[in-house]
Structure 1
Amino acid sequence: MYLDATYPYELAGAAENSGARQRQEAATAHREAIRQRLFEADPEGWVLIGPDGSMSQRAEQTLAACRAGADRIWGAVLPVEVDTGRRGRSEILLRDTVRGGYIPVIVVNHKVTDPGQGATTSGLFEWKPAVDETRKVRSQVRDQMRVAHLFRMLERHGLASPAQVAGAIGYGGDCILVHDLTAVLDEYDARLTDRVEIARGRTPTKPSQIGECRTCPWWDRCRAELTRERDVSLVASGQRAEVLRELGVHTIDGLAGWEGAPPEVWPQGPFEDAVVIAKAWLADAPLVRRYRHVHVHRADIEVDIDMESFHEHGAYLWGTLLNSGPESEYRPFVTWDPVPTDDEARSFAEFWTWLSDQRRTAERRGKTFAAYCYSRSAEDKWLLSSARRFRGFPGVPPESEIKAFIGSPEWVDVYQAVTDQFVCPNGKGLKKVAPIAGHHWRDDEAGGEASMSWYREAAGLDGEPDPSQRTRLLEYNEDDVIATKILREWMTDRAVLEIPHIDDL
């Protein structure tokens, strides 16, 4: 925040982060879809603050609509506050017809509730908050701070509802989650005070690595400074670094030389791993073995699997790599109809039928069988979800059959094998670990975030479908399953020879 305020021109010239751009595009598409639904349900009930004009002009339009008593405003912009620097936009302002004032409602492209009970929600088309026995709140502190921010800005103009509530429409767009602001306003006010002091240079700051650094335009500058100082946050980021500094450990060298019992409170993962990561950083070791021997389950017939989904809309591609001897064969099962679509049931059924045939063939021949993925949570989710959503479609298995498979030893998570047997200083993602085993992706931009943008073009969500992006996605998926194969084979054959043991550091 200090750098943003001090060097605005340098910030304006920073290269755009492709992942952030893709998330913004997806969020924009989601907001527009929600707007269309609301406006189609009641075309005359809304005041629209359009995207044309300056921010100050749109803020004037918003205030005028509020003072005129508009019931519902879309695209609200609030005036910039010179003294605090606050600025804010709320997708929706709802007039509180009981107490007066306005209730801010934001539209976000992530889940705001989970199955459960106890959340307070309202329907999309009429503000009637009530306890929902089918949903529980999914904690989203960022959302809470944003709506508290909007409430305070409305309050400054005498436009905030005395009810001190706000709303959030999340992914799926089937309800409004109601936030009770009385529980968060004090925390918001404290955070704002801190940020204003930092932005104005009255509170000294130093860089420290946190999760968001990788998408920050200032990261190159901060990383260089942290590296010069051998700062401990490079190997123990976020709250872990704060704990270590409170204990007098400020450098990687200090953490690597730790002696004695671990800290009484350690925020994330085994403390012993943090010490090993510090030693690995000093030794420039990309991985460290926990054990003298490395093992991953192997079989006579092996299939590597990687699924591609588009947000929460559906799983459009199940990629497979069949290894039954010296040869490997990549086979994708895909639908290019924009998900969600019933054609997804066809591609999923074809994938499951093919996989089941491989398992039966192995059994008939007296061979062992194993299917591999990297970080099974996403594959498990879409296997189960697809069986539930498409129950009754031709070839779609019952959910019990899916559960039996994912609970069997034939379903192997290579990510878990890596986690159990290695300390990974640079992260455990497939893109981080597989290159150590010798694998490289054909596309320099390959990654989950990039694939979302490619899919939009491949499926024609914003125009005509682009066949070249379909090819790009298939090659990316093929490279992922090949990476899993190479990684597990490397673990079997060479990892012990190439990766140092903890005791060797």
Structure 2
Amino acid sequence: MAIRSSVPSGPKRPPLLSPRDLSGCEHRLARDSLFPKVESVPDDPSVALRKEAAADHRLRVRDMLHGLHADELNRWADVSDGKTTRARGKATVSAMNAGAKWIWGATLPDDPDSGRRGWAEMLIRVDTGYVPVIVVNHKSFDPGSGAVTSPVWTWQPSLDETRKVRGNTRDTIRLAHLYRMLQNLGKAAPTPSGGVIGLDPTALVVHDLTDALIRYDDLLIRRLGIARGQVPTAPSRIGECRGCSWWSACGPELEQAHDVSLVVNGNLTQMLATVGVRTIDELAGYDGPLPEGLSNLDDPILLARAYLADVKLIRRMPDVVVARADVEVDVDMESYQDDGAYLWGTLLTDNTDPQRPVRYIPFVTWTPLPTVDEARSFAEFWGWLMSERKSAIANGKTFAAYCYSQQAENRWLLGSADRFAGHPGIPTVDEVNEFINSEHWVDIYEAVSRNFLSPEGKGLKKVAPHAGFTWRDDEAGGEASMQWYRRAVGLDGDDVDHTQRVRLLEYNEDDVRATKALREWMDGGGAQHIPLGSELPVPMPVVQADN
């Protein structure tokens, strides 16, 4: 990330676009092109962690491939160590001219005529040219069939009956960009294709770029027009705004304009524009035709009215409903990137027995992930949870386990059962599926979504304060916990910091207590103080001026 000056740099040289410039916010590209970068600042912690994880993954793949080709290193070239982009570009061209079979860390020379710059993790020689291969820190395939894959140590594309492609537009754009650069160098393989090695490096997914190149060519023309100041852009709030250094400029501009993107997502912003709705005021009083593809605008209109009334939470209906049980267990899981789930925190409440204490019980491994000790902590958690479930039912009591947004918990419940199958105490995938699809597994986020709307979002830390809950640690959050975990297990080579272990346990305990507090507040009448959507002021419809 960078701090940028407020003074345009003026026309100096033709823009050179990397694949990153071809995806995401067009207005960011316009500002990046108009204003020079003048001072680098550290990335947001979550961005820094993702970059670090991606770099580590690339190194592991490089070492694996280097080892696979150890008996023919005369055909392997690693040009990633060049000190400058120009030096790496020259080394890449030299390796291609020398006929290297595999070129790791390839940087293609800048191409001012076409406005391109780019680099690939690897180039593989095929026939008389090269195909680009990229290494990404996300999945490139799923179980299934229909993908075209190749062994990672060679280029032998064939139909794969065990894998299906997990599509990623950014990946195909990058491959098309690199293939065009190879074409301009006269070094592209005859068949337009490229490869992706994802999180699972057991196969290389092969992409036919024939159709992608057509879309890419049109995209490049538009993006070059933006970078040259020939295509106008305007700010609009989207997901990437959270980590963009231009938000300090775009945010106030959008707020001043009451831009509708402040209360609805990017896709709906575009759909509303087709019926002339561009401001929050226009949406709040809208009574016109629906955008194509929408059955109603009830929720967006309520969110707009809430924004104008400065209301942070809205009740959808008079009576708030949430599932309750005699024995309740709140569950919150902590994971570290894709390496594993190191902590399953639980809070047990027996509503039929006031003498039984409300207990926070963590099931944790402090062995740095990935580790087989994760199987031990997960098995202990699962065994305890199923024991409490079985005991409650045997004693004629109702039982429910609660989480907040089950997507993450379900991923690691199923993933742990799969990865550690056969270890002591590990359930089968079928047993996990039976539980998460039963009435005993309740998602409080879904209950909040059924009962409330919020212009600020429905994350636990946004909603639980309405129930009077506060976290002990002002820095508590998913991004901060990643840094705490690194110090808690000495992941950076430093001594283990036991204070960070305490911090993580307290953060996890607060999360499960927040879920409990929110559920009891919803069921106990506290939520009746939240205004109903029907009670919000209804502004007069905005009259659209004739052009």
Do they fold alike, i.e. is TM over 0.5?
Answer: yes
State the distance in 2 between where 1:346 and 1:393 align. Answer: 8
Q: Name the residue aligned to 1:298.
A: 324
Q: 1:450 to 1:158 in 2, by over 3 A?
A: farther
Deviations 1:422-443 (A, max 9, x none): 1222222223222333333334
Alignment equivalent of 1:202, drawn from 230, 250, 272: 230
Q: Name the residue aligned to 1:358.
A: 388
Q: Displacement, 1:456?
A: 3.8
Q: 1:160 to 1:447 in 2, by over 3 A?
A: farther
Q: Name the residue aligned to 1:328.
A: 358
* 2:275–2:290 Cα contact (<8 Å) kept: no
Q: Name the residue aligned to 2:339.
A: 313
DSSP-derived class of the 1:439 partner: coil
Q: 1:55 to 1:349 in 2, by over 3 A?
A: same
Q: Following superposition of structure 1 onto structure 2, how do residues 182-221 of structure 1 map, counting pairs within 5 Å?
A: 182-221=210-249
State the distance in 2 between where 1:40 and 1:441 align. Answer: 48
Alignment equivalent of 2:314, drawn from 288, 292, 295: 288
State the distance in 2 between where 1:318 and 1:21 align. Answer: 25
List, as ranges, runs of 4+ consecutive aligned residues in structure 1 with deviation greater than 4 Å.
none
Q: 1:209 to 1:401 in 2, by over 3 A?
A: same
Q: After alignment, is 77-86 or 225-234 more displaced?
A: 77-86
Counterpart AA for 1:32: L
Q: Displacement, 1:494?
A: 4.4
* 1:208–1:237 Cα contact (<8 Å) kept: no
DSSP-derived class of the 1:47 partner: strand
Deviations 1:407-463 (A, max 9, x none): 222211101101111122222222322233333333444333443444344344442
The answer for unaligned runs of 5 or more in structure 2 is: 1-28, 537-547
Q: Name the residue aligned to 1:446.
A: 476
State the distance in 2 between where 1:357 and 1:376 align. Answer: 21
Q: Name the residue aligned to 2:262.
A: 234
* 1:15–1:217 Cα contact (<8 Å) kept: no
Deviations 1:458-498 (A, max 9, x none): 34444244434333332222222122112112212244333
Q: Name the residue aligned to 1:18.
A: 45
Q: Displacement, 1:155?
A: 1.5
Q: Displacement, 1:15?
A: 5.5
Q: Name the residue aligned to 2:18.
A: none
Deviations 1:130-189 (A, max 9, x none): 111111111200111111111111211111112110011111211111111111111111
* 2:149–2:158 Cα contact (<8 Å) kept: yes
State the distance in 2 between where 1:451 and 1:105 align. Answer: 34
Deviations 1:336-391 (A, max 9, x none): 22334322221111111211222233234433221100111222232233233333
Give the alignment's Cα RMSD to 1 decimal. Answer: 2.0
* 1:109–1:171 Cα contact (<8 Å) kept: yes
State the distance in 2 between where 1:488 and 1:124 align. Answer: 50
Q: 1:84 to 1:213 in 2, by over 3 A?
A: farther
State the distance in 2 between where 1:18 and 1:410 align. Answer: 36
Q: Displacement, 1:294?
A: 0.5
TM-score, length-normalised on structure 1? 0.94
State the distance in 2 between where 1:112 and 1:262 align. Answer: 37
State the distance in 2 between where 1:494 and 1:15 align. Answer: 45
* 2:195–2:204 Cα contact (<8 Å) kept: yes
Q: 1:452 to 1:101 in 2, by over 3 A?
A: farther
2:293 is the counterpart of 1:256: no
State the distance in 1 between where 2:367 and 2:30 align. Answer: 46
State the distance in 1 between where 2:189 and 2:492 align. Answer: 38
* 1:14–1:217 Cα contact (<8 Å) kept: no
* 1:27–1:109 Cα contact (<8 Å) kept: yes
Counterpart AA for 1:80: D
TM-score, length-normalised on structure 2? 0.87
2:520 is the counterpart of 1:489: yes
Q: Name the residue aligned to 1:479.
A: 510
Q: Name the residue aligned to 1:124.
A: 152
Q: Name the residue aligned to 2:91.
A: 61
Q: 1:127 to 1:455 in 2, by over 3 A?
A: farther
The answer for unaligned runs of 5 or more in structure 1 is: none
Alignment equivalent of 2:134, drawn from 74, 88, 106: 106
State the distance in 1 between where 2:472 and 2:36 align. Answer: 37
State the distance in 1 between where 2:473 and 2:84 align. Answer: 40
State the distance in 1 between where 2:430 and 2:324 align. Answer: 25
Q: Displacement, 1:105?
A: 0.5
2:450 is the counterpart of 1:420: yes
2:121 is the counterpart of 1:91: yes
DSSP-derived class of the 1:80 partner: strand
* 1:46–1:72 Cα contact (<8 Å) kept: yes
* 2:69–2:76 Cα contact (<8 Å) kept: yes
Q: After alignment, is 198-207 or 326-335 more displaced?
A: 326-335
2:428 is the counterpart of 1:401: no
Question: What is the count of residue pairs matched by the alignment?
Answer: 500
Alignment equivalent of 1:27, drawn from 50, 54, 57: 54
* 1:38–1:125 Cα contact (<8 Å) kept: yes
Q: Name the residue aligned to 2:7.
A: none
2:309 is the counterpart of 1:279: no
DSSP-derived class of the 2:37 partner: helix
2:375 is the counterpart of 1:345: yes
* 2:521–2:527 Cα contact (<8 Å) kept: no
Deviations 1:269-297 (A, max 9, x none): 96321111111111111121111010111
Q: Displacement, 1:242?
A: 1.7
State the distance in 2 between where 1:16 and 1:290 align. Answer: 39
Counterpart AA for 1:95: R
Deviations 1:316-336 (A, max 9, x none): 211111123564321111122
2:526 is the counterpart of 1:500: no
Q: Displacement, 1:308?
A: 1.9
Counterpart AA for 2:246: W
Q: Name the residue aligned to 1:432.
A: 462
State the distance in 2 between where 1:445 and 1:243 align. Answer: 37
Q: 1:244 to 1:345 in 2, by over 3 A?
A: same
Q: Displacement, 1:83?
A: 4.2
State the distance in 2 between where 1:208 and 1:461 align. Answer: 39
